[in-house]
Amino acid sequence: MSNTLVEQANPAFRFVVDVEGERQAAFTECTLPTLEFDVEEIKEGGLNTHTHQLPGRRKGARISLKNGVAKGKLLSWYLEGFDKAVTRKPLTITLLNAQFQPLMVWNIQESYPIKWSGPQLKSDDNAIAIQTLDLVCGDITVSFE
């Protein structure tokens, strides 16, 4: 999916998703992961004013992508997890500006899809059909373009 295809589809699609370096989808909403660490509190005898707080491991992180247009490969990646072992892949999410130039890039290692919610379709409703794809994340790096 090239940027021109995204531009023709809808200028609101500002998050593009590449899987293993290949453009797979564009979404209007992206809930990025909360990067949070566990904290281990250590109480020291005779020290009653505070506890020592030591950093632990990073908690698991998830990404949620909503209202997207995607190639069939993205859904196939999710569906193949039903038949065989989950395949972890590198994922890149790029936030584009109004001129479709990159503003921020999130590189995520060892991601895999865990949930796909199809749109609710009603013939008597004018609401937009929204599909959601949730993924788990391995190591995450963020860069500003």
d(CA 99, CA 108) in angstroms, rounded, equals: 24
Cα–Cα distance, 4 to 78 (Å, whole number): 26
Task: Please write down the long-range contacts of 7-12, taking CB distance under 8 Å and 24 or more positions apart.
Answer: 7/100, 9/69, 10/69, 11/98
Give the tens place of pLDDT for each residue, 74-109.
888 888 888 888 899 999 999 988 888 898 999 999
What pLDDT is stored for residue 129 in this prediction? 56
Q: Which residues lie below 8 Å from residue 77, measured CB to CB, with a gap of 6+?
A: 19, 87, 89, 112, 113
Report pLDDT for 2.
46
pLDDT computed for residue 38 by the predictor = 92
Q: pLDDT band at residue 50, thresholds of 50, 70 and 90? A: very high
Give 13's pLDDT tier (boundaries 50, 70, 90): low
Q: What is the mean pLDDT of residues 117-127?
A: 69
Mean pLDDT of the chain: 82
List the chain domain ranges: 3-33+59-144
pLDDT for 54-80, tens place per residue? Answer: 999 888 889 998 887 777 788 888 888
CB atoms within 10 A of CB 19: 20
CATH superfamily of 3-33+59-144: Hcp1-like (2.30.110.20)
- Location of structure tokens 């999130």: 106
